[in-house]
């Protein structure tokens, strides 16, 4: 199974690319949002009628039965888990460099044994007095029979053999041998070894077979010079000579006594404060009360034989116990062909299997930190401990228990020994044939294949909660073999994909050096899986970046990223690995830049040709993040980026459909801005600096244009990037900010004409193009000068910025927000008063365009009022950096008229009506006033203040305005002292750490949650269809009031909503209090505020994803949209996203109308403005701005629930229009059904059922008109419902019924034929009379015959149903 296929078929990525609907002449297909199992077209049957006239019906088809249950799901990606949680999680989820995850690294990684002291006390032919030998008795020492030659020669021969046996495990150590020594010789040996080893470990091997057992005091025995006496050598002396780190092997009877004495010494040492912890390891042949086995089937030094020649010892022992004992000649064991380090020979393979088995036993039995210390730090210690496990198995069969310090749990009965026995048996059975014919082809053992299969079985059924796979160390061993390597890597990749816990386990087993080494291979088939494995490792532990750079591993990933034959998702992983390598690691940044990473990333950010299909978003995202990390805090790299035209390439991605890609592009651009640029804060004005500054200004200009993106993730990054700009360009921004509010002595009218005198080759504006469009300004300055910026007249590059008396009052001539069709008008004038003649002269503070600074300030004021709290905080911090401080002000709530509500504090009248305004500053700052850190100034003159009543947006603290002479204490304070905010750290970007989280989640398997969600959805679809068929057949006479809820809203109920699958109603008032109530139990469920800002007013409540986990959309009357999840849990509500739906169109006032269309994923928003904004909530992006082509405001909006992209709008002049997003001219129908009356349209809606061509429109005059857009513009049915007081209209989505409400405390329900089915009115005389107030809102249940009505005066929400409602 190639990993490529595995990855391609199973790689699940959250954001699937969605092609945007093209504005082609024919209707373009809808974007492919994340659909569920079945997708339906939106073609529908046409009711009998005349031939189609609008080109609307050309592509009609028969519908699927569930055409009206939309399959689109929005706002349920990972990024909607909440930005604040993301920020917290990002801090935690970003690859870590310390703590738990780095525990897998051995603390002393390079610890090795530098010197080995071998001490043999054999005294051959003389038995010690405390030993009584049996006959026949074990005699072999180092596989030599000491009685087969003269004792001195035998002793020397045994010593040399032991030296050779140890040398095979650690060839680089220095070996010292003492045969039958004295105390002095041992002391000299120890001192020499420690001197040579320095801080490395010393091994002391003691064979005491020719001396008595150790004493109870912990003394071992050596000889006197003449060998006439045994001399005791206290362990304490030995330890004081050898010092630490050390390892002791005691091969003698009652060796446990020595271990006990050592432990007492260690305890005593650790209790004395002076000594440092001792690194001391002990291996002893038996316990204190045991003697060594004397059976002739074992060698005399069976413990040493196990530790130094494990394969030979194991096979001899096994052979005597297996069925082969009769048939096999034991001498053949010594003739096994091959070399121990050659795995393609029999001996090498046996050694390899033995290592795998013992490693596996140790890893499964020992605590991980102990396993690290004993089996992964020091090669010789690891070998000795592996072999110690064999010694325990063999010697326990002879009733002897080897012991160690640190203590190991018993392992002699572990079931992996069975696997070893089987491998040994297979090997021994082949042995005679291999020896007889050395040319026989070597057949590898099935051991590793079988173990990999066992691991695969575990992967199919295992999980974090189950016992970890015991084959993990074997998988590690298999990586050494080319024949098994690919399969092992694929299985390892699957294991690592199970989560960070799996990566941690694999690292603790010791996988790291193996996969690091594999980066040096050129094997093409391993590339994809290696990149995947490294992705998983680095998503857990960032500290590996150092190793990768040291070993040149970065080059492997740069080559992979640059190769076009890999899948884009896999190249995204390579980009992720490189991003981690350069993250906060200067050495990594330098090596990657010299390896050409910037060029590679930029090349792949541009499609080969512009008509190519969309690149995989994950790849674009990570190319941007990689570039951002490469440039981060590295001025030389930023310069290289600017030189290689990076801004131009990355700026194109700011309109990508995926918010993650846009946010990553912003991150990359933000990191190109040099915060401490000397060129900006004074310095030499050479051309390089100018070039750099121009490039930076260009970047900032593009960032300002995405500051009102629909996704908080993107806006948050924009706010952070702009804060960097505020730091870097602090001086100039402070100057410009102060200029805005600099009071003038001349009167307004005296200065105004000089606006026309601006002449500058790069900024040519007629006065008319400077000021126009912002109604608040125009109405007051109209006769003198039109204020604003007409989109057609405003050049993208010309910038002007004013600080004339108009600007004194913070008017940004035609604010960036006043322009209807562009997100920002880029104009900004910096005009300073010329002291001599009171005229205005245009000055430049830098050779660049100063307009960018004024535009920056206006944008930051908008950001500081962002509906998403975290972003607003960043905006306020950025403003404080440039001297704009928040001033505490009493909360004043305004209704749509602009006057304060009764009983609430409003600003005193002496502030010349400055409480509300429509200038840019106020629109962005609302009630947080600004103070500027500039020297104290004289107060403004009144002769023009009064004239500019609505444009003075500087909301001074009320008590300061009480004195008509001017300000009591100036708001403008000294600029000398640096602010704390400046010194405080930059807000942290979250997109990088948050994006890293993607790779720590499973990538190869779809989650089980999907199945659960699908089954829940299918169940809901079944219920919905059932309810729909019932309500379509029902009488729809809503005569029974089943619930009445006193919401206790101070201002009456503004909006109400019935939940589709639970007996819950949600209501809200103009103070944006949202309350949730269960109407079956008559119990409150939840209450929360839509936001905490002082500017309140609610437009509408809508339900998103009603067939899945429903989200609540609350639209404020200022156009801000907030979407909540978990709103039906007590205090469980969470903000999913928030954005301004009328971005920049501040003329929309406080009469926003909005509607949602589930099957397209579109949100339509408009109001007192000339355009309708269409938002794609899947992409969180403004899809299009449709000109309404009407002179009056839009007062009602309704999206078709049947045809995607279709919506109807009712206007204040009583006209009705229908638009189709997919057609080139957008407008498909227009009528004036309410003529000759001109009262505004209060409600509009598509008629129930499948027919997309019939609409209902109700005007304030009280008439309800039924239209068929295929027929003439005249209505085919008119109902005179209420006389002049109609306030609400509701059209059921499926049942043939409409309802209207009036201010005269009455609700009427009509059939589509015009028959009045029900009338509900206030009856004060009857005791049980139905209480309703003036009707503010009406809302039908999506699928049932239920109607919710919200009252304006008594805040009741009443729910009506048919008589037989259960």
In contact, 832 and 808? CB cutoff 8 Å: no
> Is the C-alpha dihedral spanning 1279, 1282, 1286, 1291 positive or negative?
negative
The pLDDT of residue 214 is 95
Q: How many CB atoms lie within 10 A of CB 275?
A: 12
Identify whether the C-beta of residue 223 lies closer than 8 Å to the C-beta of residue 182: yes
Cis check for the bond before 406: say yes or no (omega within 30 of 0).
yes
- For strands 831-833 and 840-842, give the pairing: antiparallel
Q: What is the pLDDT of residue 1360?
A: 92
**Which residues share a beta bridge with 178?**
119
The radius of gyration of the chain's CA atoms, rounded to the nearest angstrom, is 41
Spatial strand order of the sheet with 1153-1157 comes to 1153-1157, 1162-1166, 1171-1176, 1181-1187
Helix spans in 761-850 (H):
767-770, 775-781, 805-808
Residues with pLDDT less than 70, the chain: 1-68, 82-83, 85-86, 88-102, 106-110, 269-277, 326, 608-614, 676-687, 740-850, 886-985, 1006-1009, 1144-1150, 1322-1333
What is the C-alpha separation between 104 and 1335, in angstroms, rounded?
68
Contacts of 207 (CB under 8 A, 6+ apart): 119, 120, 121, 122, 141, 162, 251, 252, 301, 304
By the 8 A CB rule, do 1091 and 1104 touch? no
Measured distance CA(495)–CA(499) in Å, rounded: 8
Nearest residue to 539 via CA among 995, 867, 894, 1093: 995
Sign of CA dihedral 942, 944, 949, 955: negative
Q: Tell me the three state secondary structure of residue 1125.
A: strand
Q: How far apart are CA 1249 and CA 1189, in angstroms?
A: 29
Dihedral sign computed on CA atoms, order 656, 658, 659, 664: negative
Task: Give per-residue burial for 655-664: e unless 16+ CB within 10 Å, then b.
Answer: bbbbbbbbbb
307 three-class SS:
helix
Q: Which residues touch 650 (CB under 8 Å, ≥6 apart)?
A: 605, 624, 627, 665, 668, 669
DSSP 513-573: HHHHHHTT---GGGHHHHHHHHHHHHHHBTTHHHHHHHTTTHHHHHHHHH-TTS-HHHHHH
Report the distance separating Cα 322 and Cα 475, nearest Å.
Answer: 28
- The pLDDT, as a whole number, for residue 1006 is 67
Pairing of strands 884-887, 929-932: antiparallel
Place of tokens 């535009």: 855
| C-alpha–C-alpha distance, residues 1363 and 1041, integer Å | 9
Contact 799, 761 (CB under 8 A): no
- Residue 63 token pair: 């519908």
Straight-line distance from the first to the last Cα atom of the chain, in angstroms, rounded to the nearest whole number: 58
* Residue 1229 half-sphere exposure toward CB, CA atoms < 13 A: 29
CA–CA dist 756, 296 (Å, integer): 115
Phi–psi pair at 416, nearest 5 degrees: -65, -20
Provide the b/e sequence for 1032-1048 (b: ≥16 CB within 10 Å): eebebbbbebbbbbebe
Strands 246-251 and 201-207: what pairing? parallel
C-alpha span between 142 and 209 (Å, rounded):
12
Nearest CA-CA partner of 615 in 572, 649, 574: 572
Residues in the chain: 1366
pTM for this prediction? 0.80
Choose among 671, 666, 662: nearest CA to 724: 671
What sign has the CA pseudo-torsion 329, 331, 336, 341? Answer: positive
| pLDDT number for residue 898 | 37
């Amino acid at each position: 199974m190639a990993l490529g296929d595995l990855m391609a078929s199973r790689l699940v990525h959250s954001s699937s690319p969605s092609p945007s609907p093209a504005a082609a002449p024919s209707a373009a297909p809808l974007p492919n949002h994340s659909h569920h199992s079945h997708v339906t077209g939106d073609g529908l049957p046409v009711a009998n009628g005349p031939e189609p006239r609008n080109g609307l019906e050309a592509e009609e088809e028969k519908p699927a039965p569930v055409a009206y249950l939309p399959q689109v799901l929005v706002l349920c990606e990972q990024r909607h888990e909440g930005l604040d949680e993301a920020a917290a999680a990002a801090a935690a989820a970003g690859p870590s460099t310390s703590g738990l995850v780095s525990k897998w690294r051995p603390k002393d990684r390079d610890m090795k044994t530098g010197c080995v002291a071998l001490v043999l006390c054999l005294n051959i032919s003389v038995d010690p007095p405390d030993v009584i030998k049996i006959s026949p008795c074990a005699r072999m020492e180092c596989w030599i029979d000491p009685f087969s030659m003269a004792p001195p020669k035998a002793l020397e021969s045994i010593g040399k053999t032991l030296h050779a046996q140890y040398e095979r495990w650690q060839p680089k150590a220095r070996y010292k041998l003492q045969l039958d020594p004295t105390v002095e010789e041992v002391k000299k040996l120890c001192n020499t070894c420690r001197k040579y080893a320095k801080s490395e470990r010393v091994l002391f091997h003691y064979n005491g077979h020719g001396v008595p057992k150790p004493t109870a005091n912990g003394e071992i025995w050596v000889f006197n010079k003449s060998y006439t006496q045994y001399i005791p050598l206290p362990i304490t002396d030995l330890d004081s000579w050898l010092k630490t780190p050390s390892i002791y092997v005691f091969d003698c009877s009652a060796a446990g006594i020595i271990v006990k004495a050592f432990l007492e010494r260690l305890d005593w040492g650790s209790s004395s404060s002076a000594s440092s912890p001792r690194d001391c390891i002990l291996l002893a042949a038996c316990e204190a009360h045991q003697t060594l086995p004397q059976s002739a089937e074992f060698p005399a030094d069976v413990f040493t034989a196990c530790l130094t020649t494990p394969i030979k010892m194991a096979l001899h022992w096994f052979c005597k116990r297996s069925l082969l004992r009769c048939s096999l000649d034991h001498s053949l064991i010594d003739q096994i062909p091959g070399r121990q380090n050659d795995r393609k020979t029999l001996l090498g393979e046996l050694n390899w299997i033995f290592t795998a088995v013992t490693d596996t036993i140790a890893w499964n039995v020992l605590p991980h930190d102990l396993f690290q210390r004993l089996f992964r730090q020091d090669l010789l210690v690891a070998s000795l401990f592996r072999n110690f496990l064999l010694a325990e198995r063999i010697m326990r069969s002879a009733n002897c228990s080897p012991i160690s310090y640190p203590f190991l749990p018993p392992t002699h009965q572990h079931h992996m020994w069975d696997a070893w026995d089987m491998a040994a048996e297979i090997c021994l059975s082949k042995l005679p044939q291999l020896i007889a014919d050395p040319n026989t082809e070597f057949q590898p053992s099935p051991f590793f294949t079988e173990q990999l299969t066992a691991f695969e079985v575990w992967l199919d059924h295992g999980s974090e909660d189950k016992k970890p796979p015991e084959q993990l160390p074997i998988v590690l061993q298999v990586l050494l073999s080319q024949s098994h390597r690919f399969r092992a890597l694929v299985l390892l990749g699957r294991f690592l994909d199970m989560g960070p816990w799996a990566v941690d386990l694999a690292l603790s087993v010791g996988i790291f050096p193996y996969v690091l080494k594999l980066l040096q291979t050129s094997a093409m088939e391993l590339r994809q899986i290696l990149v995947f494995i490294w992705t998983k490792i680095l998503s857990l532990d960032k500290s590996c970046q150092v190793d990768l750079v040291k070993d040149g591993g970065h080059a492997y990933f740069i080559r992979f990223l640059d190769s076009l034959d890999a899948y884009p998702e896999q190249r995204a992983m390579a980009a992720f690995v490189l991003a981690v390598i350069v993250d906060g690691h200067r050495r990594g940044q330098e090596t990657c830049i010299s390896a050409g990473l910037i060029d590679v990333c930029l090349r792949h950010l541009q499609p080969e040709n512009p008509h190519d299909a969309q690149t995989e978003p994950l790849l674009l995202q990570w190319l941007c993040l990689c570039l951002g990390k490469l440039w981060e805090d590295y001025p030389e790299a930023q310069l290289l980026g600017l030189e290689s035209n990076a801004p131009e390439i990355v700026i194109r991605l700011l309109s990508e459909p995926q918010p993650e890609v846009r946010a990553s592009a912003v991150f990359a651009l933000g990191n190109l801005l040099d915060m401490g640029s000397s060129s900006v804060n004074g310095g030499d004005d050479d051309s390089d600096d100018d070039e750099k500054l121009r490039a930076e200004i260009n970047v900032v200009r593009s960032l300002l244009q995405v500051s009102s993106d629909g996704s908080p993730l993107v806006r948050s990054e924009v706010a952070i990037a702009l804060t960097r700009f505020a730091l870097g360009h602090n001086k100039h921004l402070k100057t410009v900010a102060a200029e805005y509010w600099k009071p003038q002595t001349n009167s307004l009218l005296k200065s105004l004409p000089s606006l026309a005198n601006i002449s500058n080759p790069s900024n040519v504006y007629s006065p008319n193009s400077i000021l126009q469009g912002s109604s608040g300004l125009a109405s007051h300055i109209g006769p003198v000068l039109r204020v604003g910026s007409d989109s057609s007249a405003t050049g993208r590059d010309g910038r002007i910025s004013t600080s004339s008396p108009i600007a004194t009052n913070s008017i940004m001539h035609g604010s960036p927000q006043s322009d209807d069709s562009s997100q920002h008008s880029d104009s900004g004038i910096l005009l300073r008063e010329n002291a001599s003649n009171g005229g205005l002269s245009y000055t430049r503070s830098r050779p660049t365009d100063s307009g960018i600074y004024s535009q920056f300030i206006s944008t930051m004021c908008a950001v500081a009022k962002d509906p998403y709290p975290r972003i607003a905080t960043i905006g306020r911090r950025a403003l404080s950096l440039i001297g704009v401080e928040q001033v505490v002000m009493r909360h004043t709530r305004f209704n749509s008229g602009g006057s304060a509500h009764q009983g609430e504090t409003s600003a005193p009248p002496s502030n010349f009506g400055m409480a509300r305004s429509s200038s840019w500053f106020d629109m962005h700052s609302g009630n947080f006033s600004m103070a500027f850190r500039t020297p104290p100034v004289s107060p403004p003159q009144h002769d023009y203040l009064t004239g500019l009543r609505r444009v003075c947006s500087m909301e001074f603290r009320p008590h300061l305005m009480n004195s008509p002479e001017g300000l009591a204490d100036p708001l403008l304070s000294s600029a000398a002292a640096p602010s704390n905010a400046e010194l405080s750290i930059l807000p942290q970007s979250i997109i990088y750490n948050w994006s890293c989280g993607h790779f720590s989640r499973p990538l190869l398997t779809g989650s089980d949650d999907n199945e659960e969600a699908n089954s829940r959805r299918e169940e809901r679809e079944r219920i919905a269809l059932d309810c729909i068929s019932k309500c379509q057949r029902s009488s729809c006479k809503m005569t029974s009031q089943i619930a009445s809820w006193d919401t206790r809203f101070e201002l009456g109920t503004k909006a109400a909503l019935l939940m589709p699958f639970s007996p819950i109603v949600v209501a809200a008032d103009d103070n944006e209090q949202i309350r949730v109530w269960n109407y079956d139990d008559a119990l409150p469920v939840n209450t929360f505020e839509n936001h905490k800002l002082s500017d309140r007013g609610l437009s509408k409540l809508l339900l998103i994803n009603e067939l899945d986990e429903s989200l609540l959309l609350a639209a404020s009357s200022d156009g801000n949209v907030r979407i909540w999840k978990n709103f039906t849990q007590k205090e469980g509500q969470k903000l999913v996203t928030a954005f301004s739906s009328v971005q920049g169109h501040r003329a929309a006032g406080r009469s926003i109308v909005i509607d949602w269309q589930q099957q397209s994923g579109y949100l339509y928003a408009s109001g007192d403005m000339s355009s309708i904004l269409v938002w794609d909530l899947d992409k969180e992006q403004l899809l299009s701005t449709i000109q309404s082509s009407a002179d009056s405001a839009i007062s009602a909006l309704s999206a078709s629930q049947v045809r995607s992209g279709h919506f109807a709008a009712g206007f204040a002049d009583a006209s009705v229009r229908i638009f189709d997003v997919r057609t080139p001219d957008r407008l498909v129908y227009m009528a004036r059904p309410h003529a000759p009356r001109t009262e505004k349209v209060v409600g509009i809606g598509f008629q129930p059922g499948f027919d997309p061509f019939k609409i209902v429109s109700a005007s304030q005059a009280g008439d309800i008109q039924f239209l068929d857009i295929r027929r003439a513009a005249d209505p085919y049915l008119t109902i005179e419902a209420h006389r002049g007081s109609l306030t609400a209209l509701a059209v059921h989505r499926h049942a043939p019924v409409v309802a209207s409400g009036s201010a005269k405390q009455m609700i009427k329900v009509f059939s589509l034929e015009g028959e009045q089915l029900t009338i509900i009115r206030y009856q004060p005389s009857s005791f049980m009379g139905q209480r309703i107030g003036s009707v503010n809102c009406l809302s039908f249940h999506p699928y049932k015959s239920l109607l919710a009505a919200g009252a304006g005066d008594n805040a009741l929400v009443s729910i009506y149903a048919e008589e037989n409602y259960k």
